[in-house]
Structure 1
Amino acid sequence: MHRRSRKQSGAFALVFFASLSPSIAQLHDDGRQAGLLFDYVVIGGGASGVPLAYTLAESGKEVLLLERGGRREENPSETLTIAGFGSALINKDLAQEIRTVDKAITHVSNVLSGGTAVSGGLQIEETPEYFEYLREEFGAQFDLQLVTESYAWVREQIAQPMGIPETYGPAYIASLQDLGFDPFVGPSPTFSVGSFNVFSQFENDGKEFSPDRRRFASDDLALGGLANPPGLPRRLKILTRQTALRVQFEKNEETGNPRATCVVYADSPDVLEPIDSRANAGLSAKGGKRDIAQTGRAREDGDVKRACIRAKGEVLIAAGPIFSPVLGMNSGIGPKDVVQKVMEGRGTEIVKDIPELGQNLHDRFASTIGVFFKKPIPEGGVPITVALAGGIKVVGDKCPEDFGITDTSLECTYVMSEEASGTDAVGLFLATRAIFPPVLRALPEVDFLVSLLTECLDKEDSIACAPLHPVFDCVRRVAAFISFPVVPKSRGNVTVSEWGEPILTAGYLTDEEGLDLNSSILGVETLLRVMGSGRFYSLFEKPGPLSCPTFIFNKLVDMLVIASRKLPFPGDIDTDSLPSFTAFLESHTNVTDTQGHSGRSDSFLQDALLWMELQKRKNDALKEGRDARSENDASESEWLGDQSPVAEWLREQVTRASAPASMPEGILDDLACDLVPSEECERRRQLRAATRFAAVPPLPTDVLDRESLGDFVKTHSVGTWHWTGSAAMGTVVDKEFRVMGLENLAICDGSVFPQMTRLNVQATYVMVGRYCGLLRKQQGR
């Protein structure tokens, strides 16, 4: 079939979305009509939900797609181009923060297109061997021909190779080859051992590397770019900013099984507040009954609506591996001991005991090291790349010849490496607080700094933000190297409180054998060896008093010091009336008295205004932090400012970062290695060479010490948002994605995979939406 060009698709997308809003408004009216029936109701317009709904509708079926968030075009700076990657996670209109029981921070997207609208955009397809493994190990059966067809359908419309910028790109690829990530196969949409040029959602504009390169997302698939004629299926109805509350069931008198009949939904709240799993689990004074639109509890009053299916129709849940189980439990299906409490509170009975729903949930724990391009940077800034190349290989001295695709042990495992450069790293750091050790992330001083930096992303002109301008300049020059366990073994879970509120346990690094920690340590070692390969000496900053890490940590200390001062002058000041920094300078420049002296000290006034601005933000951050903090963490709520553990830690980092680069210890070992070369000698040389670069987070003092690398992993690693497995095929759903023991209900998203893919999950999650829809088309349903 003739392929529509991406430029044509992009233009068509603009026309489509310009005309979509009126139809959505009309759909809101239609959705209130009693007795409106659909062949399919799809819950969740994300990576899987959009291609699923499109595929069902293209065969002429009446399909309703419910999405709790808005459209990408409502937040264009974060969702439509590559320049927006990173900042979306701190926009509450695009992503909802979740704090886990074990004090990790993650996010769930809140926008049509789901994670494909806010992610790093990697499109890495799995091999047939992966799906064979799922069948053999878990009984999860996929039609490989249909998988291949579905991958191709997605790739043709939203994927292309990431561009490779001059100098830096070849240097990174060469460093992978230096470390044995061979062969380099060039552009490849499919997972490949060795190294390869990764496919991406972001437009490839050749050598231009424009920050305005378009992001293709799952909503582009609804445009029918490969259809003849192209266009949105006439029978596909999309409702945005509508939150599904629960699925309704009735008993099939012939089979005795519960049968899904309708979906109850309501308008989404204007703002999705963070979810505190510890509070929802009863570990906080905040625990208790709350609004369903925030928590998942089915609301019995207010302006609720229903969408129902025809007798042979189907409700398909595609809300993602966290919220699909939550919706199920609020609908009466899931572990009996959990769901029974929810149903009792509503005065109804449990629908189906499914003990495995919400179990087997897993994500990856990623380690990232950021370095900084030297000035002067290229005109137009550092080229933005996200995984221009990926590398994966087996490491270990005792690797058997038949080492399997998902095997891992303390003696032999897979390691991988990816990169990103020129992205909005500030947003990622703020969303995860990864720059700070976990023990500090909930302290009020961190709340204050995160709040301040978040505001300054959009208001660099304000007095409070002016001192931070150079910090943002540094972050725009970041190149980040990333590694994570290829085959994570640790498991978490998702459940709900008696009020239906989500309770998420991440479970990072909890596998009994320590396999994930071992893989992570080897991954960090790999990143350090990439840095120390000798390919980047002319590109990245060295440590020293003028380095970016020194400046960043020093400025954060300054903000805490100023915010901790006592009142610098008497009297009350209305902080809301304070001028911007630009207005302040304009009003005080060249103001002198008759003697030629300046009037009141501009420096004093500037300091006073800055102090007032920071006081206001400190008070706001402290209030928000106290509201969110659990009873068990109450001791963390006291503001200590420049005398706090946060300030102490920051000062330590300033000292470490400002020390100039020196000849690494072990130079005699290096000379000996030159005489008698060995792989171990080269490994040690590369690890020590990595310390010649200024880095954030700060590198371990002893990069040769395995325990130090383990501490680095535990201190600075964060999740990858690759949540998988909470409604696994073989235990919760069958090979057609139908929830076992129920009728007319299916789950079609990343929840169904018992073991996540070996690299990025996104291409497979989009694929499975198409695949699930094609299965139903084949069956003539």
Structure 2
Amino acid sequence: MGSTISSDLLSATQIPVEVLNTAGIGDFLWPPQATLQDNATYDYIVVGGGSAGCVVSRRLAESKSDSVLVLEAGGNPPLAAMIFSLFVLFPHSFVDYDYVSTRDEYAARGQDNFTMITAGKMLGGSDSLNHFVHTRGIPKDYNNWAKMVGDESWRYENILKYFVKSERLDDAEILRKYGEFHGTDGPMGISRQPEQEVVNILKAFAEVGNPTVLDLNANKTVGYSQSQFMYDNYKRQTPAYSYLTPIKDYANLHVSTNTMVTRIIFEGNAAVGVEAINDGKRYTFRANKEIIMSAGVFNTPKLLMLSGIGPKDHLESFNIEVLQDLPVGENLIDHVAVTVLHKLKQYIPVPNVPKAAVNFLRVPFPVLTSLVALNKSRTCPNYQTFNLFFQHDVPFVTPTCNTVFGLRNEICDRWQKEVISRDSLYSLLTLLQPKSRGVVRLSDTDPSADPIITTGYYTKSDDLENMVTNVKDYITVGESSYFQQIGAEIAGLDLPACAEFEQGSDDFWKCYVLEHTTSTYHFVGTSAMGQVVDSKLRVKGLEGIRVVDASVMPNIVHGAPNAAVIMLAEKASDMIKNDNNN
């Protein structure tokens, strides 16, 4: 008989991870805690040690002459964060900011009207708890950025070198065919784990017009592929590990974890330092050259607004003196997603040992990534899918559905029961270029207060219409010969909330989408180029302060944005060094 994993049990399994972290197990991997001194001066101060902050800090410290202070609100990643199979333990834990959206009775029905928002609170940021899949987007993304900000340096042909610079790809087949698009000696280990079990599934998608592609990070922009992972030699390739660990003992690199920056200090229009709290003590740190804001898509705008940079009316409502009136916190974009679960091949009920139990250091199940164009003759995709293949009688559906993506227990437990004795395909369909926008705002002038996050999902009706079209396109895989042969079915279609609509109708699928919408945690855009920062990522109208993280993206890429964040930080590092004559 199949089994389920309750959210209470998962919470219990997080306890030993936190105990081990408190004991400091694994701290040898990370830079030592900096010795802090009030009013100390550094050449560069990096606020936030997430993906971008780690990359920038590494590149600035490589000179060995410039002093770099990194201030990270969270701690070091627990050793368990390096292990693929344990990523499910980290949502809602001590390494997650565990934000939630404002109340949304329209698009967050499947999450009790509040969208769960996972965001990493540790060195490496969200890249220390995300889902490892490595996607770059498509060339058109960066060409559009260049056009939007009037700077040709952002065109794909000009930024490809930074993707290459960041990578250490370990895949002979991809390198043989697409080597010009990849690097082999960069910090970030990238690998695949091809699995025979999904060959028939790939053939099924190809049969309905979606070709099988070896590498979606090269010159192919549509198709289904076995995923590339930020994972190498059995270890997660968080930038905390891949970028900072090799230089952790540099004398000019100073990393202070569990340190909350509370305000940026300005003299006139020039950023000259920051105020921060560590272990209950307040510190002021000054920067000779620049302050780099890399606190992420939620906390970078929060800190900017607390420091007087943001929408005038909003700041004045908190009696914050306005230094620069800019649309900080606006233009919040995410790849809104909907889950579809297929019941695949059926087996005689027998206990099954999941791959994760045999070797939990490997990816515990095959993962397929796709970029799909509705018009099969086009090369610009309309939606993306992340597809997890679960073998029969393993309890992976519930934690994926509930703990990772936040859907209600009753949805997840019902799906788990429906796939008893069957293989399953858990698919997350994402809308690649949503028109809807959300917003991040202050909730309080207390720097420790969570920001107010409104996702804005489906506030533009075209997004819901397009998602329905995408779902209808995706489920045509059920017409393939393999899916027909094994009697594949979509689970969970007998929905009481949608009973008034004919199954398969557009109205039914609209209802289904609204009942199963989640975030992919691909948030970008809240300090966008052209709006808040210029094309060199300098905050408009101010000196000595730059933003380098996902918040500067003026539009979201056609794929999970983490690879693009790392590329962006590599490019920003060169811009910072050039502007400061390094």
| TM bracket (short chain) | 0.7 to 0.9
Are positions 1:192 and 2:224 aligned together?
no
Q: 1:518 to 1:775 in 2, by over 3 A?
A: same
Q: Deviations over 1:94-118 (max 9, x none)?
A: 3423232433221221111111111
Alpha-carbon separation, structure 2, partners of 1:249 and 1:186? 50
Are positions 1:509 and 2:458 aligned together?
yes
Q: 1:713 to 1:475 in 2, by over 3 A?
A: farther
Q: 1:107 to 1:21 in 2, by over 3 A?
A: closer
What is the match of residue 148 of structure 1? Answer: 160
What is the match of residue 299 of structure 1? Answer: none
Contact conserved, 2:32 with 2:248, CA < 8 A, in 1? no
Alpha-carbon separation, structure 1, partners of 2:474 and 2:131? 19
Q: Secondary structure at the match of 1:712?
A: helix
What is the match of residue 281 of structure 2? Answer: 303
Alpha-carbon separation, structure 1, partners of 2:422 and 2:86? 12
What is the match of residue 67 of structure 1? Answer: 72
Contact conserved, 2:83 with 2:236, CA < 8 A, in 1? yes
**Superposition deviation, residue 535 in structure 1:** 2.5
Contact conserved, 1:332 with 1:343, CA < 8 A, in 2? no
Q: Deviations over 1:524-583 (max 9, x none)?
A: 2233223453424677xxxxxxxxxxxxxxxxxxxxxxxxxxxxxxxxxxxxxxxxxxxx
Contact conserved, 1:131 with 1:142, CA < 8 A, in 2? no
Q: How does 1:551-570 map to 2 (within 5 A)?
A: none
Q: Which of 380, 387, 392 lines up with 1:419 in the alignment?
A: 387
Q: How does 1:195-214 map to 2 (within 5 A)?
A: 195-203=224-232, 213-214=234-235
Q: Deviations over 1:173-206 (max 9, x none)?
A: 1122112113x331343462233333211347xx
Aligned residue identity for 1:384 = P
What is the match of residue 93 of structure 1? Answer: 95
Alpha-carbon separation, structure 1, partners of 2:453 and 2:550? 16
Q: 1:153 to 1:696 in 2, by over 3 A?
A: farther
What is the match of residue 364 of structure 1? Answer: 335
**Superposition deviation, residue 304 in structure 1:** 1.4
Q: Secondary structure at the match of 1:707?
A: helix
Aligned residue identity for 2:57 = A
What is the match of residue 388 of structure 1? Answer: 368
Q: Which of 422, 445, 448 lines up with 1:499 in the alignment?
A: 445
Q: Which of 723, 730, 741 lines up with 2:541 in the alignment?
A: 741
**Superposition deviation, residue 693 in structure 1:** 5.0
Q: Secondary structure at the match of 1:713?
A: helix
Q: Which of 488, 493, 518 lines up with 2:465 in the alignment?
A: 518
Aligned residue identity for 2:214 = G
Contact conserved, 1:54 with 1:221, CA < 8 A, in 2? no
Q: Secondary structure at the match of 1:133?
A: helix
Contact conserved, 2:405 with 2:520, CA < 8 A, in 1? no
Are positions 1:429 and 2:401 aligned together?
yes
TM-score normalised per structure 2: 0.78
Contact conserved, 1:47 with 1:765, CA < 8 A, in 2? yes
Alpha-carbon separation, structure 1, partners of 2:31 and 2:555? 41
TM-score normalised per structure 1: 0.59
Are positions 1:44 and 2:48 aligned together?
yes
What is the match of residue 757 of structure 1? Answer: 557
Q: How does 1:52-131 map to 2 (within 5 A)?
A: 52-60=56-64, 61-72=66-77, 74=78, 76-77=79-80, 79-102=81-104, 103-131=114-142
Alpha-carbon separation, structure 1, partners of 2:470 and 2:539? 37
Alpha-carbon separation, structure 2, partners of 1:104 and 1:475? 31
- Name the % identity: 21
Alpha-carbon separation, structure 2, partners of 1:128 and 1:143? 10
Contact conserved, 2:435 with 2:463, CA < 8 A, in 1? yes
Q: Deviations over 1:508-538 (max 9, x none)?
A: 0111xx2211221122223322345342467
Alpha-carbon separation, structure 1, partners of 2:202 and 2:557? 23
Alpha-carbon separation, structure 1, partners of 2:430 and 2:229? 19
Alpha-carbon separation, structure 1, partners of 2:399 and 2:70? 30
Aligned residue identity for 2:545 = L
Count of residue pairs brought into register by the alignment: 508
What is the match of residue 235 of structure 1? Answer: 252
Q: 1:385 to 1:775 in 2, by over 3 A?
A: farther
Q: Secondary structure at the match of 1:340?
A: helix
Higher helix fraction (1 or 2):
1
What is the match of residue 163 of structure 1? Answer: 193
**Superposition deviation, residue 316 in structure 1:** 0.6
Alpha-carbon separation, structure 1, partners of 2:275 and 2:248? 29
Q: 1:475 to 1:83 in 2, by over 3 A?
A: farther
State the Cα RMSD in Å: 3.4
Aligned residue identity for 2:283 = K
Q: Deviations over 1:685-723 (max 9, x none)?
A: xxxx75x35458969775421110111101111111111
Aligned residue identity for 1:162 = R
What is the match of residue 353 of structure 1? Answer: 325
Contact conserved, 2:221 with 2:379, CA < 8 A, in 1? no
Q: Secondary structure at the match of 2:515?
A: helix
What is the match of residue 5 of structure 2? Answer: none
Q: Which of 717, 723, 726 lines up with 2:517 in the alignment?
A: 717
Aligned residue identity for 2:303 = L
Higher strand fraction (1 or 2):
2
**Superposition deviation, residue 233 in structure 1:** 3.7
Q: Deviations over 1:68-116 (max 9, x none)?
A: 11222x2x33x11221233311313334232324332212211111111
What is the match of residue 248 of structure 1? Answer: 265
Are positions 1:181 and 2:210 aligned together?
yes
**Superposition deviation, residue 357 in structure 1:** 1.0
**Superposition deviation, residue 740 in structure 1:** 0.7
Contact conserved, 2:309 with 2:322, CA < 8 A, in 1? yes
Alpha-carbon separation, structure 1, partners of 2:561 and 2:31? 34
Contact conserved, 2:134 with 2:562, CA < 8 A, in 1? yes
Aligned residue identity for 2:452 = I
Alpha-carbon separation, structure 1, partners of 2:115 and 2:26? 36
Q: Deviations over 1:565-603 (max 9, x none)?
A: xxxxxxxxxxxxxxxxxxxxxxxxxxxxxxxxxxxxxxx
Alpha-carbon separation, structure 1, partners of 2:323 and 2:87? 41
Computing the radius of gyration from Cα coordinates, the structure with the larger value is: 1
Aligned residue identity for 1:747 = V
**Superposition deviation, residue 428 in structure 1:** 4.0
What is the match of residue 566 of structure 2? Answer: 766
Q: Deviations over 1:414-434 (max 9, x none)?
A: 233330234955444334775
**Superposition deviation, residue 56 in structure 1:** 0.9
Contact conserved, 2:92 with 2:118, CA < 8 A, in 1? no
Q: Secondary structure at the match of 1:48?
A: helix
Q: How does 1:598-747 map to 2 (within 5 A)?
A: 692=489, 694-695=491-492, 702-747=502-547
**Superposition deviation, residue 46 in structure 1:** 0.9
Q: Secondary structure at the match of 1:523?
A: helix
Aligned residue identity for 1:19 = F
Gaps of 5+ in 1: 1-15, 205-212, 252-257, 269-301, 406-412, 454-467, 540-688
Alpha-carbon separation, structure 1, partners of 2:121 and 2:158? 29
Alpha-carbon separation, structure 2, partners of 1:141 and 1:358? 26
What is the match of residue 3 of structure 2? Answer: none
Aligned residue identity for 2:445 = W
What is the match of residue 576 of structure 1? Answer: none
Aligned residue identity for 1:42 = V
Q: Which of 483, 490, 494 lines up with 2:436 in the alignment?
A: 490
**Superposition deviation, residue 308 in structure 1:** 1.2
Q: 1:384 to 1:712 in 2, by over 3 A?
A: same
Contact conserved, 1:484 with 1:519, CA < 8 A, in 2? no
Contact conserved, 2:116 with 2:406, CA < 8 A, in 1? no
